[in-house]
Structure 1
Amino acid sequence: MKFTDGYWHVRPGLKLNYPMEVRGVRATEDRLTVLASCKKIVTRGDTLNTAILTVHYTSPMPDVIGVELVHHDGKRIKGPEFEKHVIPGSRVQIENGDEIASLTSGNLSVKVHKNEGWSSHFTMERRGLPAAATRARGISKCPIEPRICASSSIWASASTSTGSASDLRRLSKRSSRRFVERRRRHVQRAGIQNVPFYLSNYGYGIFVDHPERVSYEVASEVVSKVQFSVSGERLKYYVIGGASLKEVLDNYTKLTGKPALPPAWSYGLWLTTSFTTSYDEQTVTSFIDGMMERDIPLHVFHFDCFWMKEFHWCDFRWDDEVFPDPEGMLKRLKSKGLHICVWINPYIAQQSSLFAEGKANGYLVKTMEGDVWQWDRWQGGMGLVDFTNPAAVRWFQDKLKALLDMGVDCFKTDFGERIPTDVVYYDESDPVKMHNYYTYLYNKAVFEVLEEVRGKNEAMVFARSATAGGQQFPVHWGGDCSATYSSMAETLRGGLSLGLSGFGFWSHDIGGFENTATPDLYKRWVAFGLLSSHSRLHGNQSYRVPWLFDEESCDVLRFFTRLKATLMPYLFSKSVEATKTGVPVMRAMVLEFTDDPSCDTLDRQYMLGDSLLVAPIFNSEGLAQYYLPEGRWTNWFTGEVTEGGRWIKERHGYFSLPLMVRPGSLIAVGADELRPDYDYADGAALHLFELADGRTAVADVYSTQGVLELAVRVERSGNELTVAAQGAGKPWELVLRGISAVKSVEGGASFAGPAGVRILPETGAGKMRIELA
């Protein structure tokens, strides 16, 4: 929402109420409240006919400060509200001096200057930030300027300073056209993944605590400000600090919820029926057998919409004309080692057998007149499940439970973003707020029934829509993309943005959803897709099996599927890390290289975990252009070492792309290239890359249940490596990449191999000493 016309003029018809002067401060043990008048008070007469704004400062946990701006406090507040996790017993320090009132939480402080009109600012002491010496103990400031706009409609807004070189990331999936927001108007409602959180490379994040429509002016009203506003008499947001961008994400996901850990089998290759294609059990089986005949590992098969009868979505019943024996079919498919996913959405068509049931029991969202809300947008006479009604939630979950009992393993939770705002909910929630929040309740209901039936370690969805907190119910995918290189690049930008708001895992439709990719594009997208956290072949009007593109596509798909399987010990450890820290598996470069300004805007490459740099190829010439930060980086495929701190330009065939290993990395590689769910610690090879003198490398290997099984730490001092291993009860090896010989090994036996020196530790050995040649 723009409030000004140019820099000096208020837009016609608007009246702005700015806090102009502090008129009182109230301090309690856990809250700082500031009263501000909207004009200067010189005489008593000036107190007449003016607005008073109340600003509350609180803290739910260290390094996070909540700000709530209130104009008129008499209006009833209707839900829903984002669920937030408060750390009990978190202490704040509040001071109320003659000149300054302040609240400090951890290293984050807000200061309000009492005698300078309205002046407030935040500071974050950036201790421990791995930055250049001149910035190591700097102070990050982001002034907050609240205001109220009162007219026929009322808006509450606030703004933060962008600084001279600030980059802002993540507003919603719709913003995937831009990875870095520098100047833009943005309304958070039309996207499929609306998360009112953004991250600044100045070292803070802003979470606007409103599930309804949030309007942003990103340096578009005032070039030095990011303004956000909501309709109403109050505005609440959180300023989130941290010693690094990773710590900001950690704090944000402590507040809104950490991602769950997806089951290990979900990291394998997914194949779907595609959307509007014709299929039956014979067709499905031919695809699966075709993959097996070509030695392409396949782990999940997904049935898209038409597993149910047309016009009946969703009745959760197999179309008996196409699938007369669904239980038998699922058993036959699962006997091939597959997991099964089926498509669902929260809409109930009028022809569905469930419509009358939902109508009679009040399980569907209603109109203002008390009728069932319906439209024909997706399915004829479609109604909408009311997830604010606990009985409706259980009813919906019971339908899914019957499918789980039949042998289905997970659900693709499609849609949930086109939600009406002129309706009535069971719990009287504000329908405008429910527009974005609905998807949270929808995916939560599905995820929880999966946990109930399958267990916490086996629950996952393949979700389309999301909002703040939705990261707790992985996995999400980017929605419908086109079979073009530009759409492939857009997919990456959107996914990296999603990861910067706490979503640890994301996927995309390999080859593009709309239209059919060329064989060239398909093979390039396969490489990108299999170096993503989750990998799915899916499309609209055509099948996505590789032999329909060309035979080489089969070879490329086989190659990268097997590569991913061997990387699973590493990928799964980064997945466990994501559940603990909120840092995504697929990371924007700026998360790992905050102090390298060249990484600030990079959105066509990413870090897979903290050690692997991936640069997908976005053109038919096979030309890769990517940036390597400083250090000696190793090509995963060739072992060639390249000095970083520069841009690289090179050509790649279909069995290659820039997959570069960060110097000082210790990467666990598994012994099984056929499936993603195996014993990662048994026969694991830990590859050490370019460890500099005086540095340490660590690697953790977890079981598929998320239990730590092997932890290895390597320290280098001159030509000596000291290796400490915990949980080394199974055979494993240490591979010294780029080293051709060693002088001696204590606690293991060494030999030269094609990738360097391979060291086989003695069984159960906790320590080794290696002297390099």
Structure 2
Amino acid sequence: MDRATLRLTTKRLGKVVLQSADAASAATAAPSFDFRPTGSSGWVSATSVRSASWDGRALSVVANTSNPVYSLLLTLTPAQDRYALTAAVQGTGATQLAAHYDMNASGHWYGHGEASTPNNGPYTDQPWPLDSGTVLDEAFGPAAYEMTEPFWFTSKASGLFIDTTSTMTVSLGEAKDNVAGFAVTDGQPLRQTVFVEETPKQVYADYQEIAGTPQKSDAPDYQYQSTVWNSWAQFYTNVTQAGFLDWARQLHATGIPAHTFSLDDGWMSKYGDFTFNAKFPDPKAMVDEVHAMGYNFGLWVTLWLNNDSQNYQVARANGWLLKSASDPSQPCAVRWWNGNAGIVDLANPAARAWYESQLDGLMSSLGVNGFKFDTRFFDLGCAPYTSDLGMEDYQALGAELADKYDLQGMGIRVHWTGNQSRGFVTREIDKGTGWDSLQAGMHQLLALSTVGHPFVTSDMIGGSLGQAPPTKQVLVRWAQAAALTPLMYSSTAPTGVTDWTTGRQVAYDAETVQLYKAAVERHGDLSDYILAQVRRAVGTGEPIMKPLFWEFPEEQATYTLDDQWLLGDSLLAAPVLEQATSRDVYLPEGRWYDPYTGQTLRGERWVRDYPAPLSVTPMFVRERVAETQQLKDALSGLRQGAERR
């Protein structure tokens, strides 16, 4: 700690692994701490150390500030491999209190979850590592729709957990170059835990001690073995009963392995009413036909009840909606992508029972097998049911609701520290249909996996976001990449799709169908191996999909790889995520078997220009481990296919 400028420096074995920013430094030009005093619109910065004392347990530091009316009290409490750091404003308090770190001092940064960025993240952009781009999220917290966690870690094996259940502003290189800024906005002290370990994997384990580990996998085994089809990108809200069934029949005819057909948005008579509109004249017949083809039937649902729905009026009259924070006599008014609505208050036992009865009715009357929950459970403008509840409690309530129903491999978007233990499949936020979205999707799976959510699935293969359909190459490469992740989630049919931006039909060729089918079959071939990773993740929290530095932390090349990962410990995935027919592949230490050629290659080197025509997804099996032969057997068809070519 520098007394003249109040700069905190964390070292391990004499080397800096984390360092706060320095207002006097040209590299950061930001204070270690600053705050917005209560009743003031300006910021006050910590400047220098006034005093420091050690009581045998904790170090207390009083810092001077740029406004002599205020001082800042820092309390540092060391423990094995970590220390707790609390900052509190002395005086009238603060509406915002921020800590700033020099990102360059720690190497590369990871964690966070889905990242809001100036380049349209998290939809079409997700920096990996985080310092390869910039991040700015001014509503980072438990009420956010984005899957986020207040945990970051670095390539120098330091980590940062911010213990809060309130909204934060998080800036990673956006507000100031090379500066990570974390500001709590609830007037409370800023409580951090700094981890110091030998490897990033160990830092992750430290966070798991706080967040918990999955006690189950919400998805049954069969959902890891093939794909689920969801209607969204194929139809958006233009879906009809006739169109949905024709789509299902065509896909059934292709023989692409699947377990469920799920009807997404576009079926409700009004948003919030669990009745079908006129586009679905016989819902029971639709469900029955899907069952007759051998699949489960799923349905999209939401806790948003639009103001013009009958259920909104029922819920409002009975006090079953979240109340407005500014006027608790009125329902909380929220705006979502389908209009103005209220949110069912899951903390109200009567409201929750009523909502569940709607779902149970669909299951009993129509034979619906499960649901895709697409909703927020709370909003910043709302008040909790009782004063002792917070935003994080509504995440837990949403999880408890969803746990009663089959989520059909599409999972649910429940996040924040502690919800890792629930073991839900985590579904990414919507992606576009271009290469940038495919890349963002894979980066995001790594980010989510390494903040404690091992059961991840990308957004639906091929993307959506109302954009023109994916090209053949994007669609196929997305399916190939998704085949090397824990679960697969499909929508755009490889037989063809409507371009809803023009109204024209887009036809894919027979090769598209064949390659898509091959990707899903490959995922099925790997399912025994994947399920073994699922079993390990339950109780341990070990990611299934992970960056190469997880197992090879000494190899610096692994820290910036954004298009390769390990599936489990023993399968190296290097799919093509751009318009290309070859790619460079980094093989870490050891020996690696190429299932396409049957050759074994030495590692700790680059393989340049590895041939990757559209029928090839580069991957390598780690030799001399327990799973080597299992993986070789599972992928034996790739060599036979290569010989036929």
1:256 aligns with 2:211: yes
Identify the residue that residue 451 of structure 2 maps to in structure 1: 501
For structure 1, the residue ranges without an aligned partner over 5 or more in a row are 41-47, 75-149, 669-685, 690-733, 738-752, 756-773
For residue 66 of structure 1, report the CA deviation from its aligned partner: 4.1
Amino acid of the structure 2 residue aligned with 1:589: L
Identify the residue that residue 583 of structure 1 maps to in structure 2: 542
Superposed counterparts of 1:493-572, under 5 Å: 493-507=443-457, 508-513=459-464, 514-538=467-491, 542=497, 548-572=507-531
Where 1:333 maps in the other structure, the secondary structure is helix
Q: Which of the numbers 318, 321, 325 marks the counterpart of 1:364?
A: 321
Aligned partners of 1:335, 1:665: CA distance in 2, in Å? 43
Identify the residue that residue 123 of structure 1 maps to in structure 2: none
Where 1:426 maps in the other structure, the secondary structure is coil
Where 1:399 maps in the other structure, the secondary structure is helix
Amino acid of the structure 2 residue aligned with 1:181: L
Aligned partners of 1:467, 1:213: CA distance in 2, in Å? 11
Stretch moving more, 634-643 or 560-569: 634-643
Identify the residue that residue 441 of structure 2 maps to in structure 1: 491
The structure number with the bigger radius of gyration is 1
Aligned partners of 1:282, 1:217: CA distance in 2, in Å? 47
Where 2:279 maps in the other structure, the secondary structure is coil
Where 1:509 maps in the other structure, the secondary structure is coil
Q: Which of the numbers 593, 606, 626 marks the counterpart of 1:666?
A: 626
Superposed counterparts of 1:106-117, under 5 Å: none
Identify the residue that residue 344 of structure 1 maps to in structure 2: 301
For residue 70 of structure 1, report the CA deviation from its aligned partner: 3.3
For the 8 Å contact 1:461–1:473, the answer to whether it is kept is no
Identify the residue that residue 173 of structure 1 maps to in structure 2: 114
Identify the residue that residue 266 of structure 1 maps to in structure 2: 223
1:156 aligns with 2:156: no
1:322 aligns with 2:340: no
For the 8 Å contact 1:416–1:465, the answer to whether it is kept is no
Amino acid of the structure 2 residue aligned with 1:269: T
More helix by share: 2
Stretch moving more, 366-375 or 218-227: 218-227
Aligned partners of 1:211, 1:736: CA distance in 2, in Å? 45
Superposed counterparts of 1:564-643, under 5 Å: 564-643=523-602
For the 8 Å contact 1:172–1:188, the answer to whether it is kept is no
1:55 aligns with 2:75: yes
Superposed counterparts of 1:647-662, under 5 Å: 647-648=606-607, 649-662=609-622
1:70 aligns with 2:19: no
For the 8 Å contact 1:463–1:477, the answer to whether it is kept is yes
Aligned partners of 1:459, 1:238: CA distance in 2, in Å? 37
Where 1:171 maps in the other structure, the secondary structure is strand
Aligned partners of 1:9, 1:512: CA distance in 2, in Å? 39
For residue 641 of structure 1, report the CA deviation from its aligned partner: 1.9
For residue 572 of structure 1, report the CA deviation from its aligned partner: 0.6
For residue 355 of structure 1, report the CA deviation from its aligned partner: 0.8
1:462 aligns with 2:387: no
Aligned partners of 1:13, 1:243: CA distance in 2, in Å? 40
1:130-158 Cα offsets, whole Å, 9 max, x none, are xxxxxxxxxxxxxxxxxxxx7xx543233
Scaled by the length of structure 1, what TM-score is found? 0.66
Where 1:177 maps in the other structure, the secondary structure is coil
For residue 611 of structure 1, report the CA deviation from its aligned partner: 0.8
For the 8 Å contact 1:416–1:439, the answer to whether it is kept is no
Percent identity at matched positions?
A: 21
Q: Which of the numbers 286, 309, 312 marks the counterpart of 2:246?
A: 286
For residue 198 of structure 1, report the CA deviation from its aligned partner: 0.7
Where 1:687 maps in the other structure, the secondary structure is helix
Superposed counterparts of 1:670-681, under 5 Å: none
Aligned partners of 2:353, 2:202: CA distance in 1, in Å? 37
1:427-473 Cα offsets, whole Å, 9 max, x none, are 2379xx73xx48724641332322xxx6xxx8865234643344435
Aligned partners of 1:241, 1:355: CA distance in 2, in Å? 51
Aligned partners of 1:428, 1:181: CA distance in 2, in Å? 37
Q: Which of the numbers 45, 57, 62 marks the counterpart of 1:37?
A: 62
1:385 aligns with 2:344: yes
Where 2:627 maps in the other structure, the secondary structure is strand
For residue 410 of structure 1, report the CA deviation from its aligned partner: 3.1
1:300 aligns with 2:260: yes
Where 2:258 maps in the other structure, the secondary structure is coil
For residue 178 of structure 1, report the CA deviation from its aligned partner: 1.3
For residue 340 of structure 1, report the CA deviation from its aligned partner: 2.7
Identify the residue that residue 114 of structure 1 maps to in structure 2: none
For the 8 Å contact 2:411–2:425, the answer to whether it is kept is yes
1:15 aligns with 2:44: yes
**Counterparts in 2 of 1:587 and 1:284: CA distance versus 1, 3 Å:** same
Where 1:556 maps in the other structure, the secondary structure is helix
Aligned partners of 2:554, 2:429: CA distance in 1, in Å? 33
Q: Which of the numbers 154, 161, 169 marks the counterpart of 1:215?
A: 169
1:250-297 Cα offsets, whole Å, 9 max, x none, are 332332132331211222211122252544444333333323322221
**Counterparts in 2 of 1:22 and 1:342: CA distance versus 1, 3 Å:** farther
1:69-121 Cα offsets, whole Å, 9 max, x none, are 333599xxxxxxxxxxxxxxxxxxxxxxxxxxxxxxxxxxxxxxxxxxxxxxx
Aligned partners of 1:194, 1:736: CA distance in 2, in Å? 35
Aligned partners of 1:664, 1:642: CA distance in 2, in Å? 13
For the 8 Å contact 2:525–2:635, the answer to whether it is kept is no
1:201 aligns with 2:161: no
Where 1:463 maps in the other structure, the secondary structure is coil
For residue 54 of structure 1, report the CA deviation from its aligned partner: 5.8
For the 8 Å contact 1:302–1:340, the answer to whether it is kept is yes
Amino acid of the structure 1 residue aligned with 2:404: V
Aligned partners of 2:363, 2:580: CA distance in 1, in Å? 46
For the 8 Å contact 1:301–1:339, the answer to whether it is kept is yes
For the 8 Å contact 1:413–1:463, the answer to whether it is kept is yes
Where 1:381 maps in the other structure, the secondary structure is strand
Aligned partners of 1:216, 1:484: CA distance in 2, in Å? 27
Equivalences, count: 574
Aligned partners of 1:465, 1:525: CA distance in 2, in Å? 25
**Counterparts in 2 of 1:246 and 1:408: CA distance versus 1, 3 Å:** farther
Identify the residue that residue 192 of structure 2 maps to in structure 1: 237
For structure 2, the residue ranges without an aligned partner over 5 or more in a row are 1-19, 35-40, 117-124, 500-504
Where 1:383 maps in the other structure, the secondary structure is strand
Aligned partners of 1:66, 1:340: CA distance in 2, in Å? 49
Scaled by the length of structure 2, what TM-score is found? 0.78
Superposed counterparts of 1:394-433, under 5 Å: 394-405=353-364, 406-416=366-376, 420-428=379-387
Amino acid of the structure 1 residue aligned with 2:129: V
For the 8 Å contact 2:260–2:296, the answer to whether it is kept is yes
**Counterparts in 2 of 1:577 and 1:404: CA distance versus 1, 3 Å:** farther
**Counterparts in 2 of 1:165 and 1:396: CA distance versus 1, 3 Å:** same
**Counterparts in 2 of 1:226 and 1:484: CA distance versus 1, 3 Å:** closer
For residue 568 of structure 1, report the CA deviation from its aligned partner: 0.9
Aligned partners of 1:502, 1:428: CA distance in 2, in Å? 29
For residue 208 of structure 1, report the CA deviation from its aligned partner: 1.0
1:399-424 Cα offsets, whole Å, 9 max, x none, are 3333344533332222429x643332
Aligned partners of 1:343, 1:502: CA distance in 2, in Å? 26
Amino acid of the structure 1 residue aligned with 2:534: S
Identify the residue that residue 355 of structure 1 maps to in structure 2: 312
**Counterparts in 2 of 1:592 and 1:661: CA distance versus 1, 3 Å:** same
For the 8 Å contact 2:529–2:631, the answer to whether it is kept is no
